[in-house]
Structure 1
Amino acid sequence: MDEIVKAALKKWPNVPDCRDWLGLDARGDWYMRDDRCQAAGPFPQVKGSRIQHEKLREFIHRNYLADAQGAWFFQNGPQRVYVELEAAPWIWRLEEDGAGGVRLATHTGQPATPGAAWLDEQGRLFLDSPIGLGLVHTLDMGLAAEQVERGLWVPETVRFAELPARHGYVPSPAGRGAAGGAPARH
C-alpha cells in the first residue's frame, strides 16, 4: 500500500466504504461504474467506463487488497472502494520462461506460483496459487494449453458458481455488510 494512502487512513479513519463503483472484468481491465451504469444493471452485464489512464491503473494495482471476509477492494486514500469481480480476484498472465515452462503473474504484475487447476462449464481455466485464485487471460490460453498437454497442469472440472466459496472470495460485495464470506488469501 502506498505511504500516502496509509497517511490518509490515519488522518481520516472513518470514511464510509464505497460499493459498486469499480469492477474488474475477466480480462483484467478495471471499470468505473457511475450512477447511470449502476441503475442500468449489475456488473459485468453493464460494465461502465474502462479505466485507460496508466497512472490510475498503477495506483489501483498497488493498493488492491482483500478484507478478512474475502471481499476485494482498492484503498483510495481513506476510502475503501470494493471491487465487483467478473470471474476471480486475479487474472493470470503467462509468459514463457525459456525452459519449457511458464511464469505466472497477476494482472497487477505480481508474480505467483501456480497450484491446482480447474476448468469451468464455460471452458475457462482457473489456477490457484498461494495468493489466491485467478483466471487465465484468454490471450494466454495457448501457453496454458501447452502446460495441460504436457501434464504439468491437470485441470479438474468445477462449476463456476462453486469457486468463490471454495476459494474464499466475494465476487460482488455491493450491498454486503461487513460480515459474510470466507477469509481471504492475499
Structure 2
Amino acid sequence: MTTSDILPPWPQVPACYGWLSLDRRGGWRLRGEPVEHGGLLAFLNHNYRSDGGDWFVQNGPQRVFVSLAYTPLVLRLQTDGRITTHTGADAGAARTVHVDDEGNVLVLTEAGIGLVDDRDLPDFIGECRLADGEPAEVEAVLAGEGVSWRGLPLRAIARAEVAGHYRFRPDPQA
C-alpha cells in the first residue's frame, strides 16, 4: 500500500497569475504591496520553485506563478564568501558571471541564475581583478572585459537576452 492509496488526490484548482511578484532586491510583493508578515515570507521562501521555465510558489494543490522584476533569484554575497539566494538558501558555487548593458551583475550558481543585490555591488566590485591581479575600477567592471571575479571572467550580456539564454519566463501567463 502506498501513500497515494490512502490519501485522496488533490483537488483540481486553477493556477494563479498576476498576484505574486519578486522585486530586484528579492522582496516578495502580493498585488504590488510588499509582503512583511514573517510567516508568509517563510512560506513563500520555502515553497518557491521552478518547472523548468516558470517560477512559482506551490500552495497546496495550487501553483501561484511569480512575475520577476529581472531574474528568478536575487543573490546576496555573504561576508564568509558564500552566496545565498533571496530565500536564504545557499546558492552554491558561482559558474559564470555577467555584466549586462545596464550595469547589472548576474551570476549563474548551482541554484540558477541570479541578479546580485545592488546593496552588494561595492563588495562585488572590491573582489574584481584585472588580468595583472590589480583591483578593477568600476568602469572596467561595467565594460565586462579583462576583469575577473573570484577567478571567473566577467562576460557581457544584453539584458534583453538574459531570460532566453537562461530559459525562464519573467512574466508567466496562463
TM-score by length of 1: 0.75
> SS of the counterpart of 1:59?
helix
Say what the alpha-carbon RMSD is for the aligned residues.
Answer: 1.6
Determine which structure has the larger strand proportion and give its number: 2
State the aligned residue count.
148
Amino acid at match of 1:95: Q
1:159 equivalent in structure 2:
158
Check the 8 A contact 1:84/1:174 in 2, yes or no: no
2:30 equivalent in structure 1:
32
Query: 1:10 Cα deviation (Å)?
Result: 6.0
Match of 2:48 among 43, 61, 64: 64
Q: Distance in 1 between matches of 2:20 and 2:98?
A: 26
Check the 8 A contact 1:121/1:158 in 2, yes or no: yes
1:21 equivalent in structure 2:
19
Q: Distance in 1 between matches of 2:70 and 2:26?
A: 10
Q: How does 1:1-186 map to 2 (within 5 A)?
A: 11-33=9-31, 48-68=32-52, 70-97=53-80, 102-112=81-91, 113-149=93-129, 151=148, 152=150, 153-175=152-174
Q: Distance in 2 between matches of 1:167 and 1:71?
A: 11
Larger radius of gyration, structure 1 or 2?
2
Unaligned runs of 5+ in 2: 1-6, 130-134, 136-147
Bigger RCO (CA 8 Å, 6+ sep)? 1
Unaligned runs of 5+ in 1: 1-8, 34-47, 176-186
> SS of the counterpart of 2:173?
coil
Percent identity of the aligned residues?
36
TM-score by length of 2: 0.80
